[in-house]
Chains A and B, each alone.
Chain A
Amino acid sequence: MEQLLAISIGVLVAGSVYLMLARDLLRFLFGLILMSNAANLTIFVAGRLTPGAPPLVPDGVDAPVGLVANALPQALVLTAIVIGFGLFAFALVLTLRAYQSLGTLETSDMRIAEPDEPK
């Protein structure tokens, strides 16, 4: 299970790097989203995997019985997903606005804030 997830993290990062090397801003953003998902999976795997053992406390005892899944990384990943969603929603709107006001998504053409010095 760990190997499978490790391989998929690798594939996600490879794909995201490929996308982020593109000059198109939208592709770059998709690459970022993929990479943030790879980071979330990393946290998930780092918390150790225990399939089919939800961390539930049975009636009458104070702590879960036996080996159960680690709930903390799931809480961390959930927080990270929510924050990531907010950030990427902003980034997408910014991209749309950039396309509207700059007329391009080619990153090499985006030089309005830092124009070349007149020769």
Chain B
Amino acid sequence: MSWVLSLPLIIPFATAVFAFLLRNSPLGRWTSLVGSSVGLVASIALMSTVLHHQVITGQMGNWPAPFGITLVADLLSAVMVLITAITGIAVAIYALGDIDETRERLGYHALFQVLIAGVTGAFLTGDLFNLYVWFEVMLIASFGLLVLGGSREQIDGGVKYVTLNLISTIMFLTGIGLIYGLTGTLNLADLSGKLDAVENQGLVTVIAMLFMVAFGVKAAVFPLFFWLPASYHTPSFAVSAVFAGLLTKVGVYALIRTFTLLFDGDVGLTHTILLWVAGFTMVTGVLGAAVQNDFRKILSFHIVSQIGYMIMGLALLTPLALLGAVFYLLHHIIVKANLFLIAGVAKQLTGSTELAKIGGLYRSSPLLAALFLIPAFSLAGFPPLSGFWAKYILVKASLDEELWFLAFVALAVGLMTIFSMTKIWAEVFWKAHPDGRQPALSGLVGRTSLIVPIAGLALMTMVVGLMPEPFVTFAEQSAAQLLDPTPYITTVLGPQP
């Protein structure tokens, strides 16, 4: 069991070492690609093991839980690791055409692999302090990737990204200290039982709020999201695609994990706050996107608005709503990473990401236009694409709880998303290029490596949309595990009295 769990962590770290040593040679980028492929195989192995056993656990260094460092994979963790590996390989292929030699010499591939390792570790750990360490691994790698190249925009965006994320880190650390003082343990499974037994439940709620703010900054929820639209449009496109796909989702995962496993004592307070947060996140994100005039800035604000949907699923805390949150999480990572990749190709073809300065892609590169429509309509929730099912389930869940207004907000935000997507369509693809350029895909250097990941991710969106049933069934089982953590706890700690 231990090897299946630790290989998805060991492989990216090992790849990072080799990619760093080979950073001055063209072999470096191929090392990264091979490492990502092996990592994908390892995470498929993990997924199939978890599908067979439901929850698997491994004690690092053979110290029994709750004393040692525990790695746990339930269905949610395993599928997040798998989707991280899929995003990883898509971006690794894309980087062959997008990352220039200067950035490679600065160690792009090594940092990228460390980032993947950090994200994977955060999904697999069963220990709160270990989660903090994985967050930091991820954070320091993302700092490096964000400012790699060092343009003025990158430094400016980097300052905001770094400072706000450091505040979140300190909040997280304080929460860990207090929770340890209260219960004497940091193992998630162990905490789940011990927090319920704490006499002073008020203090538990206070700690829950610290965690909500800390993970809320990472997940970019209202009113803590301002670092995201300040920085995500500045780095190279491969970097912003992997950030957009994975980083905020680690925050959402941490929120889902802690607010189903640990902080389920005062649901009336904590999850009501989450409900309001979800509504405001959806609305502010989509309104922010509506006033932007840059391809990547629009997409950045849409990340914020989409995070609101996932938080809404968590806040409702019904089986159907959690199902929707898990499904949304998976659909969103694929779609969002893909849209940023497409923005990168559009920039290379037309010379900018500012909507006023570009255009004409529909006439000159119809393939790219078709590939854009799939994730864009999926994001807005058109049937039969994956986003439609994700939104449908969440709206249904809120109607079941008789939260009419929230369901209305979710639908209205979907409508506003269409507005932004059609704005991009009209400006980038439909109207003629203001300089009269006819940018064709055939003239693009390294176009195979740029188009293959985009087409692959678009194909996945189509598959999830046209055959949603196995994915919905999977998300249903995963939601059931989240709502009844008994198997998780007994697998980690052994049978409980």
Bound CA span A2–B190, Å:
27
Bound CA span A105–B173, Å:
28
B157 proximity list for chain A (CB < 8 A): 113
Answer whether residue A30 sits at the interface, using C-beta atoms and an 8 A cutoff.
Answer: no
Interface hits, A1-58 → B, CB 8 Å: 25, 28-29, 32, 35-36, 38-40, 42-48
| In contact, B162 and A91 (Cβ under 8 angstroms) | yes
Distance between B415 CB and nearest chain A CB, rounded to angstroms: 24
Answer whether residue A108 sits at the interface, using C-beta atoms and an 8 A cutoff.
Answer: no
B140 proximity list for chain A (CB < 8 A): 86-87, 90
| In contact, A42 and B177 (Cβ under 8 angstroms) | yes
Interface hits, A61-119 → B, CB 8 Å: 72-73, 76, 79-80, 83, 86-88, 90-91, 94-95, 97-98, 101-102, 107, 110-114, 117
Bound CA span A90–B264, Å:
37
| In contact, B150 and A91 (Cβ under 8 angstroms) | no
| In contact, B180 and A46 (Cβ under 8 angstroms) | yes
Answer whether residue B333 sits at the interface, using C-beta atoms and an 8 A cutoff.
Answer: no
B170 proximity list for chain A (CB < 8 A): 32, 35-36, 39
Distance between A27 CB and nearest chain B CB, rounded to angstroms: 12
Distance between B483 CB and nearest chain A CB, rounded to angstroms: 30
Answer whether residue B441 sits at the interface, using C-beta atoms and an 8 A cutoff.
Answer: no
Bits for B289-300, please: 1 = Cβ < 8 Å to A, else 0.
001010000000
Given A87-B136, A97-B150, does the pair A102, B156 have CB atoms closer than 8 Å?
A: yes
Total of A-B residue pairs, C-beta within 8 Å: 107
The B interface, classified by DSSP as helix, strand, loop or mixed, is helix
| In contact, B174 and A94 (Cβ under 8 angstroms) | no
B129 proximity list for chain A (CB < 8 A): 76, 79
Distance between A47 CB and nearest chain B CB, rounded to angstroms: 7
Choose from B136, B150, B167, B180 the contact partner of A76 (Cβ within 8 Å).
Answer: B180
A79 proximity list for chain B (CB < 8 A): 129, 133
Distance between A26 CB and nearest chain B CB, rounded to angstroms: 11
Q: A77's closest neighbor in chain B, by CB?
A: B177
B181 proximity list for chain A (CB < 8 A): 45-48
Answer whether residue B106 sits at the interface, using C-beta atoms and an 8 A cutoff.
Answer: no
Q: Please tell me the number of chain A residues within 8 Å of chain B, measured between CB atoms.
A: 40
Choose from B132, B156, B167, B173 the contact partner of A110 (Cβ within 8 Å).
Answer: B156
Distance between B52 CB and nearest chain A CB, rounded to angstroms: 35
| In contact, A83 and B136 (Cβ under 8 angstroms) | yes
Interface hits, B23-55 → A, CB 8 Å: none
Distance between B228 CB and nearest chain A CB, rounded to angstroms: 11
| In contact, A28 and B153 (Cβ under 8 angstroms) | no
Distance between B469 CB and nearest chain A CB, rounded to angstroms: 43
- Interface-forming stretch among B75-83, B229-237, B334-342, B379-387? B229-237
Answer whether residue B143 sits at the interface, using C-beta atoms and an 8 A cutoff.
Answer: yes
Q: Please tell me the number of chain B residues within 8 Å of chain A, measured between CB atoms.
A: 39
The A interface, classified by DSSP as helix, strand, loop or mixed, is helix
Bound CA span A90–B158, Å:
11
| In contact, B180 and A94 (Cβ under 8 angstroms) | no
Given A36-B170, A87-B136, does the pair A113, B156 have CB atoms closer than 8 Å?
A: yes
Choose from B143, B159, B180 the contact partner of A98 (Cβ within 8 Å).
Answer: B159
Interface hits, B405-448 → A, CB 8 Å: none
Q: A41's closest neighbor in chain B, by CB?
A: B177
| In contact, A46 and B163 (Cβ under 8 angstroms) | no
Given A91-B166, A94-B147, does the pair A42, B159 have CB atoms closer than 8 Å?
A: no
| In contact, B231 and A113 (Cβ under 8 angstroms) | yes
| In contact, B180 and A95 (Cβ under 8 angstroms) | no
Answer whether residue B70 sits at the interface, using C-beta atoms and an 8 A cutoff.
Answer: no
A102 proximity list for chain B (CB < 8 A): 152, 155-156
Bound CA span A86–B244, Å:
25
Q: B180's closest neighbor in chain A, by CB?
A: A46
A38 proximity list for chain B (CB < 8 A): 174
Bound CA span A94–B233, Å:
18
B281 proximity list for chain A (CB < 8 A): none
Answer whether residue B169 sits at the interface, using C-beta atoms and an 8 A cutoff.
Answer: yes
A73 proximity list for chain B (CB < 8 A): 177, 180
Choose from B136, B178, B233, B293 the contact partner of A113 (Cβ within 8 Å).
Answer: B233
Closest 10 interchain pairs by CB?
Answer: A46-B181, A43-B177, A113-B157, A42-B177, A112-B156, A113-B156, A39-B173, A39-B174, A46-B177, A113-B153
In the complex, besides A39-B173, A117-B293, 12 extra interface pairs with C-beta distance below 8 angstroms are: A36-B169, A45-B177, A46-B177, A46-B182, A83-B136, A86-B140, A87-B140, A94-B143, A97-B155, A101-B150, A110-B156, A114-B230
